[in-house]
Amino acid sequence: MLLINNWYVAGVAAELGDDPERVTMLGCDFVLFRDADARIHCLSDLCVHRGASLSVGECKNGGIMCPQHGWEFSGDGRCRLIPAGTKTPTEPPKRARVPAYPVAEKYGLIFVFLGDLGEDARPAVPDIMPEWDSGDWHKGVITRRKDINYLRMAENYNDPCHVHYIHEFAKWLPKGVTIIDHELTDRYVRAWHAAWDAQGNFGESSGLMMEYDVISCVSRNTNYQPEYPSQIVTAYVTPIDARNTQIHMVILMPKGETTSLDGSTVRGATAEEHEMMVNMTRDTVMDEDYAVLQTTRPRQAASTTEELLVDTDRTLVQVRQMTLDYGQKHGGIDTAALSELEDTHIRVIPCPGHKSDPKNWVHKTVPLLHGTGRGKLQAAS
């Protein structure tokens, strides 16, 4: 299910310069741009005049100008200038606006809230990487696009058992994995897997912590080994649509000594070791996952009654369930209905402006799955 009313990573902040950028998420197009103060804004990418893509226009006067007839939109989505008209200047009508979405910057990433919840009702972007700001960790970011459903990707990041089979670096290690601790809320799961250490020993002082937060669809894997610097691999999966996913992965390794789970001191990593880890993950590990994931059917997360699941699959079952529950509460897109409309209509993700002022919009909002979230606006659209 593609969820609305959730935060998604739309890009890397340092990569957004003076030119607007198009991003596709949840099957819809958005434009990211910076205003005169370099603040980032996210609007629906399609101009309400005649449907041109704002992202091929240009940033102008702190807003964005449509490439086709020069209408200018502010960061709040309102059109403030229609240069050609019967009167001069033409006063833009109230409906001359495109949806505008809340933006947050965190961990060097651009997060966009795709939904209509007002500020008070909106969840916060999860604090899943408190190490980020300390200055004590080497940091690296990898961005990859894959033609895999986003939830399939998230399942992979929360599956401790595939590691020993899919990944060359771990094939020689013992194959057993045991969940020894487990924490679950309605939007978050954390599982501690005792698995292996570099010496091939089992033990509760080494292993893999896997966490998932349905807010922003983020997985965090923390890998502890007795004599090797720990690695934190955080992966955000943003659905481009139901079949394609944009991955933003952040890899941290400690610069100095850290304490392991059993209280022992572990040395820090060199910059070279961290760089090697980032390169290996980007060039080898992610493709090893992909080679198998692209063969998995069905393409979207399966029904649990059509698979034979075992205890070590517990976390991914919870990932699926949390997603369904969140969609039930806050809205899930009817992707089949949306793709039927694609060639003849524009549909947009609802934004907070739809809730505060439901009238005076040109583009209708995306169809939602029956019974998910939001009766009122759904009926109105």
Q: Which residues bind ligand FES (CB under 6 A)?
A: 47, 49-50, 52, 66, 68-69, 71
> Do the beta carbons of residue 219 and residue 158 sit within 8 Å?
yes
69 binds, among Fe ion, ligand FES, none (CB under 5 to 8 A by kind): ligand FES
In angstroms, the CA 127 to CA 83 distance is 44
Q: By Cβ distance, which residue is nearest to Fe ion?
A: 289
Nearest residue (CB) to ligand FES, 50 versus 175: 50
For 9, counting Cβ atoms within 10 Å of its Cβ (0-12 exposed, 13-18 middle, 19+ buried), the class is buried
**Smallest gap, in angstroms, from Cβ of residue 241 to ligand FES?**
24
User: Judged by CB under 5 A, does residue 45 bind Fe ion?
Assistant: no
For 252, counting Cβ atoms within 10 Å of its Cβ (0-12 exposed, 13-18 middle, 19+ buried), the class is buried
In angstroms, the CA 16 to CA 110 distance is 9
Nearest residue (CB) to ligand FES, 69 versus 376: 69
User: Judged by CB under 5 A, does residue 289 bind Fe ion?
Assistant: yes
50 binds, among Fe ion, ligand FES, none (CB under 5 to 8 A by kind): ligand FES
**Smallest gap, in angstroms, from Cβ of residue 340 to ligand FES?**
24
**Smallest gap, in angstroms, from Cβ of residue 110 to ligand FES?**
24
**Smallest gap, in angstroms, from Cβ of residue 285 to Fe ion?**
6
Question: DSSP label at 301?
Answer: P
49 binds, among ligand FES, Fe ion, none (CB under 5 to 8 A by kind): ligand FES
Nearest residue (CB) to ligand FES, 96 versus 333: 96
CA distances from 230 to 12, 94, 129 (A): 24, 55, 14
For 312, counting Cβ atoms within 10 Å of its Cβ (0-12 exposed, 13-18 middle, 19+ buried), the class is middle
52 binds, among ligand FES, Fe ion, none (CB under 5 to 8 A by kind): ligand FES
In angstroms, the CA 328 to CA 336 distance is 17
Residues in contact with Fe ion by CB under 5 A are: 289
